[in-house]
Amino acid sequence: MKIGFVGTGVMGSKMVINLLNAGYEVNVYNRTKAHAQEVIDHGAKWCDSPKTAALKSDLIITIVGFPKDVREVYFGPTGIFAGAHPGLLAIDMTTSSPKLAIEIAAKAQEFKMSALDAPVSGGDVGAQKETLTIMVGGRKEDFQRALPIFEVLGNSVRLFGHSGQGQKSKMANQIMIAGTMTGMVQSLSYAKKSGLNQADIIEMISQGAAKNWSMSNYGPRILKGDFKPGFSAKHFLKDLRIALESAEELGLEMPATKTARDLYQIMVDDELGDEGTQALIKIYR
């Protein structure tokens, strides 16, 4: 199977390398070619557009920044649909709009191709270690076809229902992460102001009822002053906006998630949007 891959950023580059190591031929495109050089050096084949990557592939994966980028990659003049061919399976692994996922799946049918929405959780560490959680929306037969690829990239894969349900599952995940990230930075800020050893607090929390992935993985990075983006604040802000928009459509109020959105908006306004989500602690200092 020949795989196309659009988006070789923090997550995508590691995913491409894992696919290459698993023996797949991978055709890659990235808006900035220099950011794809690492995967090209590992054996990926460069394409000059998503269209070209689609034409050369049986299955194409996209993981880009924002819904507007997803739309351009699929619907643009040199996008995937411009290179559509019967039997092509397109998988968008960007965290994006559920409505856009449904739109992509409907358009794919016009070209006798298929589409899945399959956003991931696990950050750069999960991408590197092949331990991503993958949440999928789409037809069961397309899911089964993609499953061997998903199993290279992650260790927890689930089909949640029709197109758009993968994105909605990711929104449920991000709503939870909003709570754990804001709770973590407030806990560590409180500990510091109280004269407590923050490393001891991280160890204690990681062994008790408040144990959570954010504290275990990002707490130690904060103590080292490591704010490199396993997942950037600006992209998390995008996710929270999508989650709140989706919740509003369902008639749900999400005050805690709104607070998290507002805090990450402060980060972006303070020009910290390219730093990791753990850099939220900087606004408490």
Provide the annotated active-site residues. Answer: 170
Q: Both tokens of residue 52?
A: 């070209």
List the beta bridge partners of residue 137: 117, 161
Query: What is the end-to-end Cα distance of the chain in Å, rounded?
Result: 51
- Cα–Cα distance between 219 and 167 in angstroms, integer? 27
d(CA 129, CA 26): 19
Q: Which two tokens stand for residue 181?
A: 């990230």
Question: What is the token pair recorded at 246?
Answer: 């989706």
Tokens standing for 104?
């992509």
Burial-class residue 123 by CB neighbours within 10 Å (0-12, 13-18, 19+).
buried
Q: Where are the beta strands (DSSP E) in 131-283?
A: 132-137, 154-161
